[in-house]
Chain A
Amino acid sequence: MMAMDANIAVKLAGAARAKGYKVNMFGYGEGVTAVKKGQNPKRFPSVGNDLEAAGKNGVTQAICETCFAARGFERGEEIPSAKVGSLTNDLFKFLSESDRLVTIAR
């Protein structure tokens, strides 16, 4: 089932950017599907498109490669704004340079 959780995260990131905050987003577990290129949800909002727009607005994005591969995706299948990365490098860097961590998950 498609959840709207990633859409909430993107909206929150956009609002934080609008206030001048630096924002990093990391996709972990099921969250990695948000960066899959070529999403076509038809009548639903495309979180992929929204993430790309957020990327152009300065929101840094990375996902867990292990989680991406577990779901059958390969490098190159991600939207251009997202980096296929790792917990050890990217999430650690994000957290170590952050004042707040907001987890949107079920």
Chain B
Amino acid sequence: MAESTLVLVTRAPYGLEDAFAGLRMALAMSVNGMTTSVVLIEDGVYNGLGSQKPEAVRMPSNAEATKELYDFDVPVYVVKEDLASRGIEESRLFEGLKVIPASEVKKLVSEHELVTTF
């Protein structure tokens, strides 16, 4: 009987619904009291940019969907190497995200009973 879920967000925002779907799933688990964590990894790190303007493509904001998780104490991690390889400075991320080295993702996987990828 699972008590914890890790959501890996691997896709960039707005071209596909996947990243948003992953964030909403994390919200649904956390509001019910399940221990939930999110990792923005690979192209998923693009969801962390503070300067997103989703209204330009009439989409819901992945940044806001991420920040809603903070109300339920869901940690949202961003992989440092994936930011660097895409040339994104950490200063461009919105507040509350936790930048971690890729080596820590393995530990997060082991700390959660269920893992899903979006």
Contacts and interface: CB of A to CB of B under 8 A. Distances in A.
Q: A–B direct touch, CB within 8 Å, in complex?
A: yes
Interface string A8-45: 00000000000000000000110000000000000000
Contact of B117 (A86, A99, A105): A105
A101 interface: yes
A97 B116 contact: no
B21 A92 contact: no
A6 B31 CA distance: 28
B110 to A, nearest CB: 15
Interface residues of B, number: 19
A86 B32 CA distance: 13
Contacts of B118: 105
A87 B116 CA distance: 14
5 A-B pairs closest in CB distance: A87-B28, A101-B114, A88-B28, A92-B32, A103-B116
A50 B34 CA distance: 32
Give the interface size class of chain A. Answer: 10 to 19
Contact of A99 (B2, B18, B28): B2
Contact of B31 (A29, A88, A101): A88
B34 A29 contact: no
Contacts, number: 48
A95 B5 CA distance: 9
A93 B56 CA distance: 36
B117 A87 contact: no
B67 interface: no
Interface in A43-91: 86-88, 91
Interface of A: 28-29, 86-88, 91-92, 95-101, 103, 105
Nearest to B28: A87
A88 B28 CA distance: 5
Given A96-B3, A99-B2, A101-B115, A28 B21 contact: yes
B38 to A, nearest CB: 14
Given A86-B28, A87-B24, A103-B116, A92 B1 contact: no
Given A87-B24, A96-B1, A103 B117 contact: yes
A103 B18 CA distance: 13
